[in-house]
Amino acid sequence: MNLDSALKMLDYWVELGWLRALDHAFAEFVCTISAENNDAPTGQLAVLAAMVSHQVGRGHVCLDLSHLCADAEATLVMPPEGAAKLAEAPDSLWRPADLFQNTTADQLIESIRNSNAVSDGSHSTPLVLEGTRLYLRRFWRYEQAIAAGIRLRFSPGARENDQQLSRALDALFGKKGEVDYQKVACALAARNRFSVITGGPGTGKTTTVLNLLAALQSMASQSPNADPEDPYLRIRLSAPTGKAAARLSESIGGALSKVPLNSLPGAPDASAIPTEVTTLHRLLGSRPGSRQFRYNEDNPLPLDILVIDEASMVDVDLMASVFSALPETARLIMLGDKDQLASVDAGAVLGELCQRANDGHYRPETLDWLKTVTGYQLPDELADTEGQPLDQAVGMLRKSYRFDEHSGIGVLAMATNEGRFDKHLIKQCQSQDFPDVAWLGRSALMSDPAESPSVPDALIPLARHARSGSARAFANAGEGRVVNGEAVAAPVGYGHYLRIMSEQRPEATDSEADRPKWDFWAANVLSAFSQFQVLCALRKGPFGVDGLNRQVAAELRASGLIDKTEGWYAGRPVLVTGNDYNLGLMNGDIGVTLSVPWDRDEQGDPVQTLRVAFPSSDGSGTIRWISPSRLQSLETVYAMTVHKSQGSEFTHACLVITDRLTPVLTRELIYTGITRARHWLSLAVPQEAVLREAVGRSVVRASGLARLLS
């Protein structure tokens, strides 16, 4: 294919919605650069350049040419969901499968290897070829920087500290008969200046990192080199989003009092463990309108330890910026669930770092060291004489303290991860074998299940479920449940927060001077709203965010719980969709619109006005009241995508599966949606076959990070 034909084909794909205009523009840019440097750009180069850009837009760091040749349409997901179908074309080269089905990766490599737009990274070119992976240069540099930052921190600490560490861990965890993987993860993290602690919901990641920080501060205060005036390490806690930061801050604030600091050597002061959590962008000193941060390799962060929670949400761009800003001597600790969805933007850093975590792969010397420090002999299946350096820095928490053997949420999460959401498990859900799971299948969503699915009919009972929570749909919801000795309230829907908004509202005569009353009320409304959330796989379509937001709002209005469904109204929940540094709001923050009598008419009498109440991002529990006119990037949030829900937990979550298979419906998405539910889970499944097939599909993002660290 010559260059003109290739560019014409790419332009046609843009018209169909298969490619972004940006992808086409990048292909033209690469060809222009090539021509300006006395090269003759080929159609093959143009197509591959567009495909690399396309893959980055889909979250991949690079384009793997071997995967492209093996199955082009699956690799590129072309045509994408919702795009126009292929019309009659002048030749057979209009589909990716036709372009690459008779081509090998070696042939593609040979066709671009000598182009002056492609290099191995040793000199500046728009594309970098490494093995079978083709990168945009910027993303190749990100990956190299992350790998270099991790390798720099692999060296184990001094062995003379082993006894101190062992004493500290025994004081924190005691000496139990069975292996305590929290204690093991703490030991591994203390051994290296880079570490990962991964585990599912309820496995105690926050507890583990608090104990780790306490042990490190204990050891620091006992060091002969410690400053008598200030013997402690400088620690900063961070998360990718404001909501994740607030949640970690709240968790740490509640858990710190349980850490036995007085029993540790040196009895470190509680002030040595920070409770304030900030977003990574704020920590690095983001500059609006710029990719650059205030803290970088020339101006490193003033810290000794950095903890990043919800690390699965961090993309390669931001992670590279973190390593750039870290002092060489600083310790980095990453926390997260390796099985969750990866970041919205390019990369799946945590997932790639943890891809061997299930099997441990600990070397004999690591196992011997762990036995010395923790007293535990790890199972033989976690041993590997050929274990990689990265394996020795990854600790996996293997016991859930939230979900027991009776928990349907725990069973479904495990089954999803293992790709076995089979008919037997679905039957258990339908028979209400799990007290914490409600199955809203076809019979529950359709007025006549014998008929073919009717989407409008299906949304009506789903919206009613969102309003009430439908406690009757759960096996023992009316009786309540006890989890880890704590009574769990019955499941609720959105009617719960709206009733609290109405019933607990202060007297209209209370003015802004009575601010604590209004703050207390708003905090109760926000807390009630956070107890329930509808989660969707898609944004568009009837079973997506847009369709369900409209249907739920209509149901709430019909029930007299809200006054209208469009524009601003009391009770409208909103999700911030872009960072606003002037207002101190971050992407993912949620607020509720409330009516307050803080304005005055000409006679000085109170006038009702709308304000949006947001919880503070520092976990302090204070409320920020913001005028709707000042809010720019937001949307109504009766329903949100599973991606947007990451970093959040809800007492009761309703996960809505689409009525047809789509590329985004994967094992990781369903697992993430299920595990957003803390105590109650509703599963809305119009088509069982779609759920079963989706669980069998796992997303693997193209990247070379793991290879760089092997």
- 455-486 pLDDT, tens digit per residue, is 556 678 888 888 887 777 776 665 666 666 66
Dihedral pair phi/psi, residue 22, rounded to 5°: -60, -40
Mean pLDDT throughout 439-448? 64
> What was the pLDDT predicted at 365?
94
| pLDDT tens track for 532-577 | 999 998 888 778 888 899 999 999 999 999 999 999 999 999 998 8
Residue 2's pLDDT band, with cuts at 50, 70 and 90, is confident
- Are 570 and 563 within 8 A, CB to CB? yes
Name 377's Cβ contacts closer than 8 Å, sequence gap at least 6: 179, 367, 371
Residue 334, strand partner residues: 196, 308
- Are 21 and 14 within 8 A, CB to CB? yes
The segment with the largest mean pLDDT, out of 323-337, 569-583, 696-710, is: 323-337
Given a cut of 80, whether residue 156 has pLDDT beyond it is no
Residues in the chain, total: 710
| pLDDT tens track for 650-669 | 999 999 988 888 878 888 89
- Helices assigned H by DSSP within 530-648: 545-558, 642-645
Q: Is the peptide bond before 90 cis (omega within 30 degrees of 0)?
A: no
- Please classify residue 22 by burial: count the beta carbons closer than 10 Å to its beta carbon, then call 0-12 exposed, 13-18 middle and 19+ buried: middle
> What was the pLDDT predicted at 244?
81
> What was the pLDDT predicted at 496?
93
C-alpha torsion angle, residues 132, 703, 25, 320 (rounded to 10): -130
> What was the pLDDT predicted at 491?
83
Q: Binding site for ATP: what residues are annotated?
A: 199-206
Pairwise CA distance, residues 437 & 674, whole Å = 10
Where is pLDDT greater, at 488 or 525? 525
> What was the pLDDT predicted at 572?
95
Closest CA to 306 of 317, 290, 295, 294: 295
Q: Binding site: what residues are annotated?
A: 199-206
Given a cut of 70, whether residue 447 has pLDDT beyond it is no
| pLDDT tens track for 102-131 | 888 898 998 888 888 999 988 889 999 999
> What was the pLDDT predicted at 449?
46
Q: Provide the total of helices (H) and of strands (E) in the chain, helices listed first.
A: 27, 22
Determine which helix (DSSP H) or strand (DSSP E) holds 142, and give its type and residue range: helix 137-152
Where b means 16+ CB within 10 Å and e means fewer, 344-361 reads eebbbbbbbbbebbeebb
Q: What is the mean pLDDT of the chain?
A: 85
- Are 643 and 59 within 8 A, CB to CB? no
Residue 129, strand partner residues: 134
- Are 680 and 491 within 8 A, CB to CB? yes
Given a cut of 60, whether residue 618 has pLDDT beyond it is no
> What was the pLDDT predicted at 510?
60
| pLDDT tens track for 223-270 | 877 777 788 999 999 988 877 887 788 788 778 888 888 888 888 888
| C-alpha radius of gyration, the chain, whole number | 27
Sign of CA pseudo-dihedral 641, 646, 460, 568: negative
Pairwise CA distance, residues 218 & 73, whole Å = 55
Q: CA-CA distances (angstroms) from residue 471 to 87, 259, 555?
A: 50, 37, 18
Q: Most distant CA pair in the chain: distance in Å?
A: 83
Domains and CATH numbers, the chain: 3-131 (1.10.10.1020), 150-228+290-401 (3.40.50.300), 408-565+639-696 (3.40.50.300)
Given a cut of 60, whether residue 151 has pLDDT beyond it is yes
Pairwise CA distance, residues 541 & 547, whole Å = 6
Pairwise CA distance, residues 155 & 234, whole Å = 21
Given a cut of 70, whether residue 148 has pLDDT beyond it is yes
Pairwise CA distance, residues 207 & 214, whole Å = 11
Residue 105, strand partner residues: none
Lowest-confidence pick of 78-92, 195-209, 506-520, 674-688: 78-92
Given a cut of 60, whether residue 90 has pLDDT beyond it is no
Mean pLDDT throughout 326-348? 87
Count of C-beta atoms within a 10 Å radius of residue 152: 14
- The fraction of the chain above a pLDDT of 90, given in percent, is 41
